[in-house]
């Protein structure tokens, strides 16, 4: 058996198409044009590429795009002041401050400065708390994308055993909460888990989000399981030329594909879903801020 590939690129295109349709409906029915503000500090090459992609896709979806490129010498106080300015701007429904930030700026201080209802990354402690308690907050984009792919592929997830590898606030913890809400039995594994392979072997759903290249081996995967690989690791590839790299996930793909029923590739799996869900969250935020039901389009 060879696993069926979950095509994140194709699925994300459908989500962006729906977002564009929702944006048109919001404008036509309610006179609202959702706006997303993206703030980047410094000139990190990878972050710049990622931000440019977000800006492009925001405009393509018919939304207002606000872009602020700030120097890496900016003080924490001035960055927080910029966030407060965007909080007060009615044209802006979603605020995203691109991480990582320079070492002299506390990321938590900046994230907590964002108004929770405009926190389209879903990182604010209030949104984290709402997710943990089953409330209605903004959900982090990457885990949301993973969940949408799982539900599209498997349908009802109730009763399935899921193992999430990695306990970050950005992916692992919110992913576990989302799967709990879908009535999965969830194990949140991490670097101190004693028998990681044994835990993974029991799982119907494996979400790997630990940032270690090909940590999860093929023989860890139960026959017929579904594997979502969030990892994006850049590994030196001298065979491609000096300084060249290749991208790998947290799962040994070729091996795992022999046991899994469904698997996401790297690249082309989870990655495209993150920006698509960012756009989706911005529409959700615009609806809620206008007092509309998320589906009232």
| Tens-digit pLDDT profile for residues 3-53 | 999 999 999 999 999 999 999 999 999 999 999 999 999 988 888 888 899
Domain shared by 71 and 161, yes or no: no
- Does 45 fall in a domain? yes
121 is catalytic: yes
CA 85 remoteness from chain centre: 25
The closest of 30, 21, 1 to 287, measured between CA atoms, is 30
Domain shared by 181 and 244, yes or no: yes
Domain shared by 129 and 145, yes or no: no
103 is catalytic: no
Final residue of a structural domain among 133, 156, 187: 133
In tens, the pLDDT along 198-257 reads 999 999 999 999 999 999 999 999 999 999 999 999 888 888 877 788 899 999 999 999
Provide the number of structural domains found in the chain.
2
Strand partners, 80: none
How far is the C-alpha of 109 from the C-alpha of 198, rounded, in Å? 39
Of the residues 22, 57, 119, 121, which is catalytic? 121
Domain shared by 149 and 187, yes or no: yes
Range of the domain at 85: 29-133
Enumerate the H helices of the chain as residue ranges. Answer: 8-30, 45-60, 76-87, 107-113, 125-132, 141-154, 172-181, 196-201, 253-256, 271-289
Strand partners, 281: none
Final residue of a structural domain among 81, 112, 133: 133
- Does 238 fall in a domain? yes
Domain shared by 44 and 64, yes or no: yes
Whichever domain contains 201, its CATH number is 3.40.50.720
Mean pLDDT across the chain: 95
- Does 13 fall in a domain? no
DSSP 72: T
- Does 265 fall in a domain? yes
- Does 10 fall in a domain? no
Domain shared by 258 and 155, yes or no: yes
Please name the residue that has the structure tokens 């389009």. Answer: 297
- Pairing between strand 161-165 and 94-97? unpaired
90 is catalytic: no
Q: How confident is the model at residue 295 (pLDDT cuts 50, 70, 90)?
A: low
Of the residues 22, 98, 222, 250, which is catalytic? 98
- Does 245 fall in a domain? yes
How far is the C-alpha of 16 from the C-alpha of 20, rounded, in Å? 6
């Amino acid at each position: 058996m060879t696993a069926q590939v979950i095509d994140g690129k194709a699925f994300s295109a459908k989500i962006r198409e729906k977002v564009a349709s929702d944006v048109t409906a919001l404008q036509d029915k309610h006179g609202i044009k959702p706006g997303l503000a993206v703030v980047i500090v410094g000139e990190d090459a990878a972050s710049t590429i990622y931000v440019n992609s977000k800006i492009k896709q925001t405009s393509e979806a018919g939304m207002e795009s606000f872009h602020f490129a700030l120097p890496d010498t900016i003080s924490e106080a001035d960055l927080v002041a910029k966030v407060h300015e965007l909080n007060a701007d009615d044209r802006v429904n979603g605020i995203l401050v691109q991480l990582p930030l320079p070492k002299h700026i506390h990321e938590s201080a900046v994230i907590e400065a964002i108004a929770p209802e405009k926190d389209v990354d879903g990182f604010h402690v209030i949104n984290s708390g709402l997710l943990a308690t089953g409330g209605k907050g903004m959900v982090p984009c990457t885990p949301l994308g993973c969940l949408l792919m799982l539900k599209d592929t498997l349908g009802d997830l109730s009763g399935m055993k899921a193992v999430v590898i990695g306990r970050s606030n950005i992916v692992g913890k919110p992913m576990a909460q989302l799967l709990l809400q879908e009535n999965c039995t969830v194990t949140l594994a991490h670097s101190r888990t004693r028998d990681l392979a044994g835990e993974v072997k029991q799982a119907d759903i494996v979400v790997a989000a630990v940032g270690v290249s090909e940590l999860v081996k093929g023989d860890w995967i139960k026959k017929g399981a579904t594997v979502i690989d969030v990892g994006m690791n850049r590994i030196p590839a001298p065979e491609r030329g000096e300084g060249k790299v290749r991208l790998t996930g947290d799962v040994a793909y070729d091996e795992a594909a022999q046991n899994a029923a469904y698997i996401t590739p790297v690249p082309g799996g989870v990655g495209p879903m993150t920006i698509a869900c960012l756009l989706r969250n911005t529409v959700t935020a615009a609806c809620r801020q206008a007092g509309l039901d998320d589906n009232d389009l």
